[in-house]
Amino acid sequence: MGSVTHTLEGPLVLGIESSCDETAVALVRGDGTIVAQAIASQEAEHAPYGGVVPEIAARAHAERLAPMLEKVMTEAGVALDDLDAIAATAGPGLIGGLMVGLVSAKALAMAAGKPLLAVNHLEGHALSPRLADRALEFPYLLLLVSGGHCQILSVEGVGQYRRLATTIDDALGEAFDKTAKMLGLGYPGGPAVERLALQGDPKAVTLPRPMKGAKEPHFSFAGLKSAVLRAVESGAHTPADIAASFQQAAVECLIDRLNRALDSAGPFPALVVAGGVAANRTVRAALEALAAKHAMRFTAPPLALCTDNAAMIAWAGCERLAMEGEAFAGDPLDFVARPRWPLDPAAETVRGAGVKA
Ligand code: KG4
Ligand code: ZN
Protein backbone atom coordinates (compact mmCIF):
# COMPACT_ATOMS: atom_id res chain seq x y z
CA MET A 1 0.00 0.00 0.00
CA GLY A 2 1.10 3.50 -0.73
CA SER A 3 4.30 2.68 -2.57
CA VAL A 4 5.15 5.60 -4.81
CA THR A 5 6.33 4.26 -8.13
CA HIS A 6 8.07 7.40 -9.37
CA THR A 7 11.48 8.26 -8.04
CA LEU A 8 11.51 12.00 -8.40
CA GLU A 9 12.66 14.59 -5.95
CA GLY A 10 10.96 16.96 -3.60
CA PRO A 11 7.92 16.90 -1.36
CA LEU A 12 4.62 15.47 -2.59
CA VAL A 13 1.67 17.84 -2.23
CA LEU A 14 -2.01 17.12 -2.73
CA GLY A 15 -3.93 20.08 -4.19
CA ILE A 16 -7.67 20.75 -4.18
CA GLU A 17 -9.43 23.43 -6.25
CA SER A 18 -13.13 24.27 -5.80
CA SER A 19 -13.41 28.07 -5.91
CA CYS A 20 -15.62 28.35 -8.98
CA ASP A 21 -17.07 25.75 -11.33
CA GLU A 22 -14.26 23.20 -11.64
CA THR A 23 -13.73 20.47 -9.05
CA ALA A 24 -10.10 19.50 -9.31
CA VAL A 25 -7.55 17.34 -7.51
CA ALA A 26 -3.84 16.97 -8.24
CA LEU A 27 -0.66 15.46 -6.84
CA VAL A 28 2.45 17.52 -7.58
CA ARG A 29 6.07 17.05 -6.57
CA GLY A 30 8.47 19.80 -5.57
CA ASP A 31 10.49 19.22 -8.73
CA GLY A 32 7.46 20.20 -10.81
CA THR A 33 6.24 16.73 -11.72
CA ILE A 34 2.46 16.47 -11.98
CA VAL A 35 2.12 12.94 -10.62
CA ALA A 36 -1.65 12.69 -11.16
CA GLN A 37 -4.63 14.94 -11.61
CA ALA A 38 -8.34 14.98 -12.29
CA ILE A 39 -10.75 17.74 -13.15
CA ALA A 40 -14.53 17.77 -13.39
CA SER A 41 -16.17 20.73 -15.04
CA GLN A 42 -19.67 21.83 -14.07
CA GLU A 43 -20.30 23.49 -17.43
CA ALA A 44 -23.36 21.34 -18.14
CA GLU A 45 -25.01 22.23 -14.81
CA HIS A 46 -24.50 25.97 -15.22
CA ALA A 47 -25.04 26.27 -18.97
CA PRO A 48 -28.85 26.72 -18.77
CA TYR A 49 -28.28 29.82 -16.59
CA GLY A 50 -25.55 31.41 -18.73
CA GLY A 51 -23.20 31.68 -15.77
CA VAL A 52 -22.12 29.99 -12.56
CA VAL A 53 -24.90 29.51 -9.99
CA PRO A 54 -23.19 29.44 -6.56
CA GLU A 55 -25.60 27.02 -4.89
CA ILE A 56 -25.40 24.53 -7.76
CA ALA A 57 -21.60 24.84 -7.75
CA ALA A 58 -21.31 24.16 -4.02
CA ARG A 59 -23.50 21.06 -4.24
CA ALA A 60 -21.60 19.71 -7.24
CA HIS A 61 -18.24 20.18 -5.44
CA ALA A 62 -19.62 18.40 -2.36
CA GLU A 63 -20.80 15.44 -4.46
CA ARG A 64 -17.67 15.06 -6.55
CA LEU A 65 -14.68 15.94 -4.43
CA ALA A 66 -14.35 12.88 -2.16
CA PRO A 67 -14.67 10.28 -4.95
CA MET A 68 -12.19 12.26 -7.05
CA LEU A 69 -9.69 12.39 -4.19
CA GLU A 70 -9.99 8.65 -3.71
CA LYS A 71 -9.61 7.94 -7.43
CA VAL A 72 -6.54 10.18 -7.92
CA MET A 73 -4.76 8.84 -4.84
CA THR A 74 -5.56 5.22 -5.65
CA GLU A 75 -4.58 5.41 -9.30
CA ALA A 76 -1.30 7.13 -8.41
CA GLY A 77 -0.61 4.54 -5.72
CA VAL A 78 -0.26 7.28 -3.15
CA ALA A 79 -1.41 6.88 0.46
CA LEU A 80 -2.13 9.71 2.91
CA ASP A 81 1.15 8.88 4.63
CA ASP A 82 3.12 9.59 1.45
CA LEU A 83 1.94 13.20 1.34
CA ASP A 84 4.07 16.03 2.67
CA ALA A 85 1.25 18.58 2.77
CA ILE A 86 -2.37 19.10 1.73
CA ALA A 87 -3.11 22.32 -0.15
CA ALA A 88 -6.55 23.72 -0.95
CA THR A 89 -7.83 26.93 -2.47
CA ALA A 90 -9.08 29.04 0.46
CA GLY A 91 -10.11 32.08 -1.59
CA PRO A 92 -11.00 34.22 -3.41
CA GLY A 93 -14.08 32.59 -4.86
CA LEU A 94 -17.59 31.38 -4.18
CA ILE A 95 -17.86 30.66 -0.47
CA GLY A 96 -19.79 27.37 -0.72
CA GLY A 97 -17.27 25.75 -3.03
CA LEU A 98 -14.31 27.13 -1.09
CA MET A 99 -15.67 25.63 2.13
CA VAL A 100 -16.11 22.19 0.55
CA GLY A 101 -12.48 22.11 -0.63
CA LEU A 102 -10.93 23.70 2.45
CA VAL A 103 -12.82 21.56 4.96
CA SER A 104 -11.89 18.41 3.04
CA ALA A 105 -8.24 19.48 3.10
CA LYS A 106 -8.41 20.17 6.83
CA ALA A 107 -9.84 16.70 7.48
CA LEU A 108 -7.13 15.05 5.38
CA ALA A 109 -4.40 17.14 7.04
CA MET A 110 -5.68 16.12 10.46
CA ALA A 111 -5.96 12.45 9.52
CA ALA A 112 -2.49 12.40 7.93
CA GLY A 113 -0.86 14.59 10.57
CA LYS A 114 0.54 16.75 7.73
CA PRO A 115 0.52 20.53 7.21
CA LEU A 116 -2.52 22.24 5.75
CA LEU A 117 -1.75 24.88 3.13
CA ALA A 118 -4.52 27.43 2.54
CA VAL A 119 -3.72 28.68 -0.96
CA ASN A 120 -4.83 31.91 -2.62
CA HIS A 121 -6.34 30.92 -5.97
CA LEU A 122 -4.69 33.92 -7.62
CA GLU A 123 -1.33 32.84 -6.25
CA GLY A 124 -1.97 29.49 -7.91
CA HIS A 125 -2.43 31.27 -11.24
CA ALA A 126 0.52 33.59 -10.55
CA LEU A 127 2.97 30.76 -9.85
CA SER A 128 1.67 28.25 -12.41
CA PRO A 129 4.08 29.55 -15.10
CA ARG A 130 6.97 28.37 -12.88
CA LEU A 131 5.44 24.89 -12.83
CA ALA A 132 5.32 24.94 -16.63
CA ASP A 133 8.72 26.57 -17.05
CA ARG A 134 11.14 25.55 -14.30
CA ALA A 135 13.75 28.03 -15.53
CA LEU A 136 11.44 31.02 -14.97
CA GLU A 137 12.88 33.13 -12.17
CA PHE A 138 11.56 36.07 -10.15
CA PRO A 139 10.79 38.84 -10.83
CA TYR A 140 8.35 38.71 -13.73
CA LEU A 141 5.54 40.84 -15.06
CA LEU A 142 2.33 38.86 -14.84
CA LEU A 143 -0.86 39.46 -16.75
CA LEU A 144 -3.58 37.58 -14.88
CA VAL A 145 -6.68 37.39 -17.03
CA SER A 146 -9.57 35.17 -15.98
CA GLY A 147 -13.33 35.19 -15.58
CA GLY A 148 -13.14 37.09 -12.32
CA HIS A 149 -9.85 38.95 -12.52
CA CYS A 150 -7.90 41.20 -14.80
CA GLN A 151 -4.68 42.33 -13.18
CA ILE A 152 -1.09 43.18 -13.93
CA LEU A 153 1.22 42.10 -11.13
CA SER A 154 4.89 42.34 -10.43
CA VAL A 155 5.72 38.87 -9.07
CA GLU A 156 8.79 39.36 -6.93
CA GLY A 157 8.87 36.10 -4.98
CA VAL A 158 6.61 33.53 -3.35
CA GLY A 159 4.11 35.62 -1.38
CA GLN A 160 5.50 38.85 -2.84
CA TYR A 161 3.14 40.40 -5.33
CA ARG A 162 2.78 44.05 -6.28
CA ARG A 163 -0.40 44.92 -8.11
CA LEU A 164 0.26 47.40 -10.87
CA ALA A 165 -3.22 47.42 -12.44
CA THR A 166 -6.66 45.92 -12.05
CA THR A 167 -10.05 46.35 -13.67
CA ILE A 168 -12.39 49.07 -12.52
CA ASP A 169 -15.43 47.12 -13.74
CA ASP A 170 -15.51 43.80 -15.62
CA ALA A 171 -12.78 41.19 -15.92
CA LEU A 172 -11.75 40.33 -19.46
CA GLY A 173 -13.00 36.72 -19.24
CA GLU A 174 -16.32 38.11 -18.10
CA ALA A 175 -16.39 40.42 -21.14
CA PHE A 176 -15.70 37.40 -23.37
CA ASP A 177 -18.49 35.46 -21.64
CA LYS A 178 -20.97 38.33 -21.98
CA THR A 179 -20.05 38.91 -25.61
CA ALA A 180 -20.66 35.21 -26.22
CA LYS A 181 -24.06 35.46 -24.55
CA MET A 182 -25.01 38.48 -26.69
CA LEU A 183 -23.97 36.54 -29.79
CA GLY A 184 -25.98 33.53 -28.65
CA LEU A 185 -22.88 31.36 -28.24
CA GLY A 186 -23.54 29.93 -24.80
CA TYR A 187 -21.33 29.43 -21.78
CA PRO A 188 -18.36 29.45 -21.25
CA GLY A 189 -17.97 32.10 -23.85
CA GLY A 190 -14.24 32.66 -24.28
CA PRO A 191 -13.42 29.64 -26.43
CA ALA A 192 -16.63 30.11 -28.48
CA VAL A 193 -15.84 33.78 -29.22
CA GLU A 194 -12.29 32.83 -30.18
CA ARG A 195 -13.54 30.16 -32.57
CA LEU A 196 -16.11 32.44 -34.22
CA ALA A 197 -13.59 35.29 -34.46
CA LEU A 198 -11.47 33.12 -36.80
CA GLN A 199 -14.12 33.62 -39.48
CA GLY A 200 -14.56 37.37 -38.91
CA ASP A 201 -12.81 40.61 -39.81
CA PRO A 202 -11.25 42.29 -36.75
CA LYS A 203 -11.57 45.69 -38.44
CA ALA A 204 -15.21 45.33 -39.50
CA VAL A 205 -16.87 46.84 -36.43
CA THR A 206 -15.72 50.09 -34.81
CA LEU A 207 -15.44 49.43 -31.08
CA PRO A 208 -13.89 51.49 -28.26
CA ARG A 209 -10.60 50.65 -26.53
CA PRO A 210 -11.47 51.75 -22.96
CA MET A 211 -8.58 53.31 -20.95
CA LYS A 212 -6.26 53.21 -23.96
CA GLY A 213 -3.63 55.88 -23.38
CA ALA A 214 -5.04 56.73 -19.93
CA LYS A 215 -2.68 57.96 -17.22
CA GLU A 216 -4.30 55.66 -14.64
CA PRO A 217 -2.89 52.15 -14.86
CA HIS A 218 -6.19 50.23 -14.78
CA PHE A 219 -8.42 48.26 -17.15
CA SER A 220 -12.06 48.82 -18.01
CA PHE A 221 -14.22 46.61 -20.21
CA ALA A 222 -17.78 47.76 -19.42
CA GLY A 223 -17.81 50.30 -22.27
CA LEU A 224 -16.55 47.71 -24.74
CA LYS A 225 -19.28 45.33 -23.64
CA SER A 226 -21.98 48.00 -24.13
CA ALA A 227 -20.60 48.80 -27.58
CA VAL A 228 -20.76 45.11 -28.49
CA LEU A 229 -24.41 45.08 -27.41
CA ARG A 230 -25.16 48.09 -29.64
CA ALA A 231 -23.38 46.41 -32.56
CA VAL A 232 -25.42 43.24 -32.03
CA GLU A 233 -28.68 45.17 -31.76
CA SER A 234 -27.96 47.25 -34.87
CA GLY A 235 -28.18 44.10 -36.97
CA ALA A 236 -25.59 45.64 -39.29
CA HIS A 237 -22.81 43.12 -38.66
CA THR A 238 -22.25 39.38 -38.78
CA PRO A 239 -21.64 37.66 -35.43
CA ALA A 240 -18.19 36.59 -36.69
CA ASP A 241 -17.20 40.22 -37.45
CA ILE A 242 -18.43 41.33 -34.01
CA ALA A 243 -16.51 38.51 -32.31
CA ALA A 244 -13.31 39.29 -34.22
CA SER A 245 -13.61 43.06 -33.64
CA PHE A 246 -14.32 42.56 -29.93
CA GLN A 247 -11.30 40.28 -29.55
CA GLN A 248 -9.11 42.75 -31.40
CA ALA A 249 -10.25 45.67 -29.20
CA ALA A 250 -9.68 43.60 -26.05
CA VAL A 251 -6.17 42.61 -27.13
CA GLU A 252 -5.26 46.23 -27.90
CA CYS A 253 -6.44 47.22 -24.41
CA LEU A 254 -4.24 44.53 -22.87
CA ILE A 255 -1.17 45.64 -24.81
CA ASP A 256 -1.75 49.31 -24.04
CA ARG A 257 -2.08 48.67 -20.30
CA LEU A 258 0.98 46.39 -20.28
CA ASN A 259 2.99 49.10 -22.00
CA ARG A 260 1.79 51.51 -19.31
CA ALA A 261 2.89 49.06 -16.57
CA LEU A 262 6.29 48.58 -18.25
CA ASP A 263 6.75 52.36 -18.41
CA SER A 264 6.00 52.78 -14.72
CA ALA A 265 7.55 49.65 -13.18
CA GLY A 266 9.76 48.10 -15.86
CA PRO A 267 11.97 46.75 -17.18
CA PHE A 268 11.22 43.09 -16.39
CA PRO A 269 13.24 40.12 -17.60
CA ALA A 270 10.08 38.14 -18.35
CA LEU A 271 6.44 38.56 -19.30
CA VAL A 272 4.07 35.88 -18.14
CA VAL A 273 0.38 35.31 -18.75
CA ALA A 274 -1.96 33.21 -16.63
CA GLY A 275 -5.68 32.69 -16.08
CA GLY A 276 -8.37 31.32 -18.37
CA VAL A 277 -8.12 34.04 -21.04
CA ALA A 278 -4.45 33.06 -21.52
CA ALA A 279 -5.87 30.13 -23.48
CA ASN A 280 -6.75 32.61 -26.25
CA ARG A 281 -4.32 32.32 -29.16
CA THR A 282 -4.74 35.90 -30.37
CA VAL A 283 -4.01 37.16 -26.85
CA ARG A 284 -0.93 34.94 -26.64
CA ALA A 285 0.39 36.02 -30.01
CA ALA A 286 0.06 39.72 -29.11
CA LEU A 287 1.80 39.18 -25.78
CA GLU A 288 4.58 37.24 -27.45
CA ALA A 289 5.14 40.12 -29.86
CA LEU A 290 5.15 42.63 -26.99
CA ALA A 291 7.69 40.55 -25.09
CA ALA A 292 9.92 40.30 -28.16
CA LYS A 293 9.75 44.07 -28.62
CA HIS A 294 10.92 44.64 -25.05
CA ALA A 295 13.48 41.81 -25.11
CA MET A 296 11.56 39.95 -22.43
CA ARG A 297 11.36 36.20 -22.07
CA PHE A 298 7.72 35.11 -22.64
CA THR A 299 6.05 32.29 -20.77
CA ALA A 300 2.50 31.04 -21.02
CA PRO A 301 1.54 27.85 -19.25
CA PRO A 302 -0.01 25.10 -21.39
CA LEU A 303 -3.76 25.57 -21.83
CA ALA A 304 -4.69 23.00 -19.18
CA LEU A 305 -2.67 24.95 -16.60
CA CYS A 306 -4.16 28.31 -17.66
CA THR A 307 -7.76 27.54 -16.80
CA ASP A 308 -8.70 26.57 -13.25
CA ASN A 309 -6.96 23.39 -12.11
CA ALA A 310 -5.60 21.78 -8.96
CA ALA A 311 -2.00 21.29 -10.14
CA MET A 312 -1.44 25.04 -9.77
CA ILE A 313 -2.79 24.89 -6.21
CA ALA A 314 -0.57 21.93 -5.28
CA TRP A 315 2.35 23.71 -6.96
CA ALA A 316 1.74 26.92 -4.97
CA GLY A 317 1.86 24.61 -1.93
CA CYS A 318 5.23 23.20 -3.10
CA GLU A 319 6.58 26.71 -3.56
CA ARG A 320 5.48 27.67 -0.08
CA LEU A 321 6.98 24.56 1.50
CA ALA A 322 10.28 25.29 -0.25
CA MET A 323 10.23 28.90 0.93
CA GLU A 324 9.22 28.21 4.56
CA GLY A 325 11.64 25.34 5.18
CA GLU A 326 11.48 22.17 7.26
CA ALA A 327 10.01 23.52 10.49
CA PHE A 328 6.91 24.95 8.78
CA ALA A 329 3.76 23.57 10.40
CA GLY A 330 1.34 24.88 7.78
CA ASP A 331 -1.71 27.09 8.16
CA PRO A 332 -3.93 26.78 11.24
CA LEU A 333 -6.82 24.30 11.04
CA ASP A 334 -9.24 27.14 11.86
CA PHE A 335 -8.22 29.05 8.70
CA VAL A 336 -11.45 30.57 7.37
CA ALA A 337 -12.27 30.58 3.64
CA ARG A 338 -12.06 34.08 2.14
CA PRO A 339 -14.49 35.07 -0.65
CA ARG A 340 -12.27 38.12 -1.17
CA TRP A 341 -8.52 37.81 -0.81
CA PRO A 342 -6.35 40.29 -2.71
CA LEU A 343 -2.86 39.10 -3.64
CA ASP A 344 -1.42 42.50 -2.82
CA PRO A 345 -3.10 43.71 0.37
CA ALA A 346 -1.31 47.05 0.09
CA ALA A 347 -2.96 47.91 -3.23
CA GLU A 348 -5.77 50.44 -3.02
CA THR A 349 -9.27 49.09 -3.49
CA VAL A 350 -10.55 49.95 -6.92
CA ARG A 351 -14.30 50.16 -7.24
CA GLY A 352 -15.73 47.03 -8.80
CA ALA A 353 -12.42 45.20 -8.94
CA GLY A 354 -12.18 41.70 -7.59
CA VAL A 355 -15.78 41.54 -6.44
CA LYS A 356 -16.26 38.29 -8.25
CA ALA A 357 -14.35 35.08 -7.83
O1 KG4 B 1 -9.10 31.08 -14.83
P2 KG4 B 1 -10.44 30.60 -15.21
O3 KG4 B 1 -10.58 29.14 -15.61
O4 KG4 B 1 -11.48 30.82 -14.08
C5 KG4 B 1 -11.50 31.95 -13.26
O6 KG4 B 1 -10.81 31.93 -12.22
O7 KG4 B 1 -12.19 32.90 -13.66
O8 KG4 B 1 -10.95 31.53 -16.39
C9 KG4 B 1 -12.20 31.31 -17.01
C10 KG4 B 1 -12.41 32.44 -17.98
C11 KG4 B 1 -13.81 32.45 -18.58
O12 KG4 B 1 -14.30 33.77 -18.54
C13 KG4 B 1 -13.58 31.99 -20.02
O14 KG4 B 1 -14.53 32.51 -20.94
C15 KG4 B 1 -12.20 32.53 -20.30
O16 KG4 B 1 -11.49 32.34 -19.08
N17 KG4 B 1 -11.57 31.82 -21.40
C18 KG4 B 1 -11.25 32.39 -22.58
C19 KG4 B 1 -10.75 31.34 -23.39
N20 KG4 B 1 -10.78 30.18 -22.68
C21 KG4 B 1 -11.29 30.50 -21.46
N22 KG4 B 1 -11.35 33.64 -23.01
C23 KG4 B 1 -10.94 33.91 -24.27
N24 KG4 B 1 -10.47 32.98 -25.11
C25 KG4 B 1 -10.35 31.68 -24.73
N26 KG4 B 1 -9.89 30.75 -25.56
ZN1 ZN C 1 -8.98 31.02 -11.95
Residues with CB under 5 A from ligand 2 (ion): 146, 308
How many A from CA of 174 to the centre of ligand 1? 8
Q: Are residues 111 and 151 in the same domain?
A: no
CA atoms within 13 Å, Cβ hemisphere of 197: 25
Number of domains in the chain: 2
Q: Are residues 23 and 156 in the same domain?
A: no
- CB-based contacts of 347, cutoff 8 Å, min separation 6: 162, 163, 166
Residue 182 pLDDT grade (very low, low, confident, very high; cuts 50, 70, 90): very high
Q: Are residues 34 and 156 in the same domain?
A: no
pLDDT digit string, tens, across residues 112-170? 999 999 999 999 999 999 999 999 999 999 999 998 889 999 999 999 999 999 999 99
Asked which of 300, 315, 338 is the last residue of a domain, the reply is: 300
How many A from CA of 72 to the centre of ligand 1? 25
At 201, which CATH number? 3.30.420.40
Q: Are residues 118 and 153 in the same domain?
A: no
Q: Are residues 104 and 199 in the same domain?
A: no
Contact between 282 and 276 under an 8 Å Cβ cutoff? The reply is no
How many A from CA of 121 to the centre of ligand 2? 7
b/e map 82-105, b = 16+ CB within 10 Å: bbbbbbbbbbbbbbbbbbbbbebb
Domain for residue 169, yes or no?
A: yes
Q: What mean pLDDT is predicted for residues 301-329? A: 93
> Using CA atoms, how far apart are residues 172 and 145, in angstroms rounded to an integer?
6
Phi, psi of 302 (to 5 degrees): -55, 155
Domain for residue 182, yes or no?
A: yes
Q: Which residues line ligand 1 (CB under 6 A)?
A: 20, 146-148, 173-174, 176-177, 188-191, 194, 275-277, 279-280, 307-308
Domain for residue 357, yes or no?
A: no
DSSP at 167: B
Q: Are residues 156 and 255 in the same domain?
A: yes
pLDDT more than 90, % of the chain = 83
Which protein residue's CA is at the shortest distance from atom 3 of ligand 1?
307
Residue 325 pLDDT grade (very low, low, confident, very high; cuts 50, 70, 90): confident
How many A from CA of 43 to the centre of ligand 1? 12
- Kindly identify the ligand whose nearest atom is closest to the C-alpha of 21: 1
> Using CA atoms, how far apart are residues 336 and 121, in angstroms rounded to an integer?
14
pTM for the complete prediction?
0.90
> Using CA atoms, how far apart are residues 314 and 32, in angstroms rounded to an integer?
10
pLDDT digit string, tens, across residues 56-94? 889 999 999 999 999 999 999 999 999 999 999 999 999
Instruction: Return the ligand 1 atom nearest residue 148 CA.
Output: 7
Question: Is pLDDT of 173 > 90?
Answer: yes
Q: Are residues 200 and 251 in the same domain?
A: yes
Q: Are residues 276 and 312 in the same domain?
A: no
Question: Is pLDDT of 105 > 80?
Answer: yes
Q: Are residues 96 and 175 in the same domain?
A: no
Instruction: Return the ligand 1 atom nearest residue 172 CA.
Output: 12
Instruction: Residue 197: give the domain boundaries.
Output: 139-300
How many A from CA of 235 to the centre of ligand 2? 34
Domain for residue 331, yes or no?
A: no
- The DSSP bridge partners found for residue 152 are 143, 165
What amino acid occupies position 58? A
Residue-wise DSSP of 247-264 = HHHHHHHHHHHHHHHHHH
Domain for residue 352, yes or no?
A: no
Q: Are residues 101 and 236 in the same domain?
A: no
Domain for residue 153, yes or no?
A: yes
> Using CA atoms, how far apart are residues 95 and 103, in angstroms rounded to an integer?
12
Which pLDDT score is estimated for 352? 56
- CB-based contacts of 186, cutoff 8 Å, min separation 6: 47, 50, 180, 192
